[in-house]
């Protein structure tokens, strides 16, 4: 099921006859059956009626609140699933450093694998991305798989990320001012989109984890913190590149979003409302895109793959599988 993203200033979420309505001054802008919504993201000045909130919580549909710039504010989350034994095991594994390291090696290696696949695709139409650069990423993937501790694994991931974003810089025209990853706040339009996209991806993954019965806030690679969905952040590592990075370079190269769609203020660089609408629609299409992997030969959507990975984590926690296999693009 897809998420519903609402950002029209002054609009409101209502429920009528088991349908979610988006209204503005008593005009219905959009409607969708409740059972077709996995989660709702409200961006900026958007309201929600109390009856609608009750129905959404009863249907296990979380509501995430972002400010107008796309920064996370909080969420209304349904009660946790009845699968208490799974969550008890999830917390128990948090005290097992070998489990945490094994899982973390898999997700970092999967992320670097997907970086190398994306770099090879870019190399087909971009000068300056060489076979040596791609092979260097593959070597980092091997190093991640063999890493002996979290500290070295973090270093490997950071080194691979710098090399990857140097290649991404070659794909994007100089006028965008992209020189690598930065955040809190983003200092250029590309980083503004990366931060916004990764936020949307994180709370899509939260929904997948909650469907399975896992607690999105207890992870094994990203450090836990108040209000920080660490397990969701762990699992989106595998999806950042094929979903968000690929989406952004496509929007730029097709001219669907332009540099002029961004503004700079003391708090960083932000997309205007029209660019956010374009981005959100493209994000929804990307999540619905059918994709095959070496492991799953038939095409299923990225969103379904996210749920598949969440179920793998559950089985790995329960020790019904020997190792966690990350999502790897072809």
| 45 and 176 share one domain | no
pLDDT per residue rounded down to tens, the chain (330 residues):
578 888 888 999 999 888 999 998 889 988 899 988 888 889 888 999 999 989 988 888 888 888 887 777 877 776 666 678 888 999 999 889 999 999 999 999 999 999 999 999 999 988 899 999 999 999 999 999 999 999 999 999 999 999 999 999 999 999 999 998 988 889 999 999 999 999 999 989 988 898 888 999 899 998 765 557 899 999 999 999 999 999 999 999 999 999 999 988 877 888 888 999 999 999 989 999 999 888 887 889 999 999 999 999 999 999 999 999 999 998
Among candidate residues 52, 76, 100, the one where a domain is terminated: 76
Residue 198 domain flag: yes
Residue 301 domain flag: yes
Residue 323 domain flag: no
| 89 and 39 share one domain | no
Residue 102 domain flag: yes
| 61 and 154 share one domain | no
| 195 and 308 share one domain | yes
Range of the domain at 309: 84-317
Question: Domain with 124 in it: what CATH number?
Answer: 1.20.120.920
| 36 and 178 share one domain | no
Question: Domain with 8 in it: what CATH number?
Answer: 3.100.10.20
Question: How far is the CA of 174 from the CAs of 4, 165, 170, 239, 243, in angstroms?
Answer: 34, 14, 9, 26, 23
Burial class from Cβ neighbours inside 10 Å (0-12, 13-18, 19+) for residue 304 reads: middle
Radius of gyration of the chain (CA): 20
- The helix (run of H) or strand (run of E) holding residue 48 is strand 47-48
| 40 and 160 share one domain | no
Q: How many domains does the chain have?
A: 2
| 47 and 155 share one domain | no
């Amino acid at each position: 099921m897809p998420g519903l993203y609402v950002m029209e200033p002054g609009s409101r979420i209502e429920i009528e006859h088991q349908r979610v309505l988006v209204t503005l001054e008593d005009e219905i802008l959009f409607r969708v059956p409740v059972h077709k919504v996995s989660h709702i993201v409200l961006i900026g000045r958007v309201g929600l009626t109390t009856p609608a909130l009750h129905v959404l919580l009863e249907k296990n549909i979380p509501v995430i609140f972002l400010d107008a710039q796309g920064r996370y504010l909080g969420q209304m989350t349904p009660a946790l699933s009845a699968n208490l034994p799974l969550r008890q095991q999830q917390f128990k594994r948090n005290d097992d450093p070998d489990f945490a390291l094994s899982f973390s090696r898999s997700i970092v290696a999967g992320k670097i694998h997907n970086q190398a696949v994306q770099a090879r695709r870019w190399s087909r139409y971009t000068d300056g991305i060489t076979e040596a650069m791609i092979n260097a990423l593959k070597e980092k993937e091997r190093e991640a798989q063999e890493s002996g501790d979290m500290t070295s694994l973090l270093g490997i991931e950071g080194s691979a990320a710098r090399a990857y974003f140097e290649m991404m810089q070659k794909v994007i025209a100089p006028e965008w001012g992209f020189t690598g990853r930065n955040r809190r706040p983003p200092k250029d339009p590309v980083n503004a989109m990366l931060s916004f996209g990764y936020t949307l991806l994180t709370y899509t993954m939260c929904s997948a984890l909650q469907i399975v019965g896992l607690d999105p806030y207890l992870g094994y690679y990203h450090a836990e913190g108040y209000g920080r969905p660490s397990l969701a952040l762990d699992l989106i590592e595998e999806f950042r590149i094929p979903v968000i990075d690929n989406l952004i370079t496509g929007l730029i190269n097709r001219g669907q979003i332009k540099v002029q769609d961004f503004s700079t203020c003391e708090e960083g660089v932000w997309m205007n409302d029209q660019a956010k609408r374009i981005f959100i629609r493209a994000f929804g299409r990307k999540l619905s895109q059918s994709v095959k992997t070496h492991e799953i030969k038939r095409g299923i959507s990225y969103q379904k793959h996210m749920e598949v990975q969440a179920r793998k984590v559950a089985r790995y926690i329960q020790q019904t599988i020997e190792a966690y296999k990350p999502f790897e693009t072809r």
